[in-house]
Structure 1
């Protein structure tokens, strides 16, 4: 296989030194090995593999800062339109998602779990994600093997907490016991990070404590010590429900953000997912500690909650984008993040198409401490998306970036390149047996659904 590749773009999105966008017309992105060698008008030499679409926009690959790929496959259609009693999101998390995940890990074979992870990751990949941060149970080590097989760039974040079995009490509050001295979950996460975290590798690892309300202070301080010792990144769910805020206030007299600051977890190496229930002082604290927020608008929109990307981004907080586990399509996620920001702020010009692309490229790369990602420039790692613009819904073209974000979809991606390798072309992954992946994952999910229904975790009437 040739180690050179040339990709033509009717437009190529570049960033100048100050991070401002620049559209280069009729340019070629030349790749050698896994690096971009040049971005120029010069055509490639004879014999070089090429990707040339009639009319195209070439973008840096999207960096997805928060996802649960196994959930995306296993829970598809289950929580959508569900008539859960309030509090909706807390019931989904503690009475459905977490119990069903335990069923899957305890009852499915290793091959069945792998099939669900593979389907979820395939979905993310075809949705435009080239770099993925994924949070999963520490027992699901197969994530790393699947990422290697599929060819995606991935940061696996095994999860852990201090909490025992979780439920929702009669008052609507999450109910579980925290062991204040148990840090064995940190040990499990650390073991996986030591096994898989290798600088320069396409598949890497980070620590993934679950959330402030399920992690005792000693547990989170152990996470901070481990992160400092290993030099790795950390990701956590933060301020995602009003119930979490109430629990942390009752236990510690602080907001969840203040609690994480108190135990030393906030900082430039932390990616905090969601951050919906924030005070103005919380926003300032996230900004001053240079903590990164991973906004996941779509997951909260389905329950009727506005999770505006622009609120934290406009406050100076580094804010990237994640798909969580509801919709794995990054184009759709960016568009929804933009719409809800405009609605929340009542200003049509905020969260514009370039803001959203920047958040999912440059900001994502900054969060991962990867200046080689999120850009199309000489020396950058070759993670690239090619959008086919020669379609009725994308024509005519005044601004190709606006057309893709506000009118396009992942189905418009003609090619996806990760680490210099074309892994999706015309909607297909030629190195994978996609039909088998779909069949095996559907069979595995059906088993989990049947068990969950028999145990009263979900019902057709509610879901």
Structure 2
């Protein structure tokens, strides 16, 4: 089947990079783009005139929230942050799943719907383990894969696994408590899931290894992850270089920096994706000067998954996007929290980079768009994603620019990043098949999902109290922005 989209603005691919096409058309047959240009003269089976829209290559989110958001709770934490980790008592005696498998499936459906509604076409999931008994079981990812297939997204999936968990000790300090058997079982399930997706044979689903945070893995688990990644030829994503607590734990336990630990176990390789990657030697809290970390990352061929919106909300940023890019590090993007809005994320990133480098041209909008498309494709080893060109996969997303609240239009990409939001996504296709249609997701009851997610969020929020070292209630852990309104008593003489 041959389908055509027309739009006022299309970010096409030409001469090795993106190029803006005004009043253009993109045509695809089955799952492949066959034409992009001003006017297609051949016959088509279906067409859509998107009018005053900007059509982009499908956005690639490599740290995509597939959970109910917790940042809304813990990004305000401050001194009470200790209450948001597991207590040592909870780890040793009382840990359990807050949600049933069916409820977890509802959460995954809600989260994947959010990705699609925000114009994401390719994702690699991230979910919190705080409210699970340990990490992510095999069965949960099997169910998630089916949800992803039903919605039609392109997913790089695997169950998260770990051999340790961050805990708060009775004196309020932070440590990692280990259960090595859980790590062994988790990796076994991860390999089993790779086999499951191989047998499934769905071109939209690819198995990857998704170990949790670097400080929650034993050296044996790190080494085995690296070995299996090499032998199976699969991607590995590992959260690392996130903060000082992680760095201190790694150095105390191993006598190495996180980068040195990754290198020791053969993980610094082109198949490794590292979300955040903010705490290099050049970070002001480390040495404040480049002592070779960036060059080491660039030479290894790893990809950084930069999550600017989440970093900002936790008071962090890259030092800097421009420096990483100029060093030759491949930069891709992730959202990591709600909303999964890469448009807002790109805008935040552009302006954080100005602060980091002290210059307004530190990270032009086009560099962030490249990270969300071509950078993500490079991280995945896919030269058929992240671009609109003949032969590429027909992964496209259209954002409406016809609302007066969008403001006046200069360059459509720069103006959209500055003034817009991914909520302006109206239509998307993945491998040529419609996912987002007129702003909706056919076959999904979004109102029911919204109501279900709120109920599950309330349960998730309440469960923090039982994990807290002091067993404080949610009113103490999550105080409101303002006190509740008090109803006045009856007036005198009434």
Give deviations 1:261-282, integer Å, cap 9, x for gaps: 1111111001111111111322
8 Å CA contact 1:416–1:423 kept in 2: the answer is yes
Task: Provide the residue aligned with 2:351 in structure 1.
Answer: 339
Task: Provide the residue aligned with 2:425 in structure 1.
Answer: 413
8 Å CA contact 2:53–2:400 kept in 1: the answer is yes
1:5-16 equivalences under 5 Å are 5-16=3-14
Deviation at 1:328?
1.1
Give deviations 1:72-122, integer Å, cap 9, x for gaps: x2526322433444xx5xx587449xx89x999724222211111111111
- CA distance 1:105–1:411, change in 2 (3 Å): farther
- CA distance 1:235–1:305, change in 2 (3 Å): same
Task: Provide the residue aligned with 2:106 in structure 1.
Answer: 115
Task: Provide the residue aligned with 1:28 in structure 2.
Answer: 25
Task: Provide the residue aligned with 1:138 in structure 2.
Answer: 136
Task: Provide the residue aligned with 1:54 in structure 2.
Answer: 51
1:74-153 equivalences under 5 Å are 74-75=69-70, 77-85=72-80, 91=82, 94-95=85-86, 106-136=97-127, 137-139=135-137, 140-141=140-141, 142-153=143-154
8 Å CA contact 2:223–2:265 kept in 1: the answer is yes
User: TM-score, length-normalised on structure 2?
Assistant: 0.84
Task: Provide the residue aligned with 1:17 in structure 2.
Answer: 15
Task: Provide the residue aligned with 2:187 in structure 1.
Answer: 186
Pairing 1:290–2:339 present: no
Give deviations 1:156-194, integer Å, cap 9, x for gaps: 132112215733563643332364996333212111112
Q: SS of the counterpart of 2:164?
A: coil
Task: Provide the residue aligned with 2:232 in structure 1.
Answer: 230
Pairing 1:373–2:385 present: yes
8 Å CA contact 2:83–2:477 kept in 1: the answer is no
Task: Provide the residue aligned with 2:270 in structure 1.
Answer: 268
Q: Which runs of 5+ in 1 are unaligned?
A: none
Deviation at 1:387?
1.7
Q: SS of the counterpart of 2:475?
A: coil
Pairing 1:422–2:420 present: no
User: TM-score, length-normalised on structure 1?
Assistant: 0.90
Give deviations 1:205-224, integer Å, cap 9, x for gaps: 20011122111111111111
8 Å CA contact 1:74–1:116 kept in 2: the answer is no
User: Which structure has the larger Rg?
Assistant: 2
8 Å CA contact 1:298–1:336 kept in 2: the answer is yes
8 Å CA contact 1:138–1:188 kept in 2: the answer is no
When structure 1 is superposed on structure 2, of 243-252 and 386-395 the one drifting more is 386-395
- CA distance 1:215–1:444, change in 2 (3 Å): same
- Structure 2 distance, partners of 1:12, 1:207, is 35
8 Å CA contact 2:34–2:391 kept in 1: the answer is yes
- Structure 2 distance, partners of 1:11, 1:300, is 31
Q: SS of the counterpart of 1:67?
A: strand
- Structure 2 distance, partners of 1:104, 1:201, is 37
- Structure 1 distance, partners of 2:459, 2:94, is 10
When structure 1 is superposed on structure 2, of 236-245 and 272-281 the one drifting more is 272-281
Deviation at 1:45?
5.8
Deviation at 1:148?
1.0
Task: Provide the residue aligned with 1:250 in structure 2.
Answer: 252
Q: SS of the counterpart of 1:183?
A: helix
Q: Which runs of 5+ in 2 are unaligned?
A: 128-134, 282-289, 479-494
Pairing 1:461–2:476 present: yes
8 Å CA contact 2:83–2:464 kept in 1: the answer is no
Q: SS of the counterpart of 1:382?
A: coil
Deviation at 1:28?
0.5
8 Å CA contact 2:167–2:174 kept in 1: the answer is no
- Structure 2 distance, partners of 1:419, 1:179, is 41
When structure 1 is superposed on structure 2, of 181-190 and 317-326 the one drifting more is 181-190
Pairing 1:202–2:204 present: yes
CA-atom RMSD in angstroms: 2.7
- Structure 1 distance, partners of 2:94, 2:179, is 22
When structure 1 is superposed on structure 2, of 37-46 and 279-288 the one drifting more is 37-46
8 Å CA contact 1:95–1:457 kept in 2: the answer is no
8 Å CA contact 2:2–2:44 kept in 1: the answer is no
Q: SS of the counterpart of 2:434?
A: strand
1:161-172 equivalences under 5 Å are 161-163=162-164, 166-167=167-168, 170=171, 172=173
How many residues in Structure 1 have an aligned counterpart in Structure 2? 451
- CA distance 1:181–1:400, change in 2 (3 Å): closer
- Structure 2 distance, partners of 1:104, 1:77, is 23
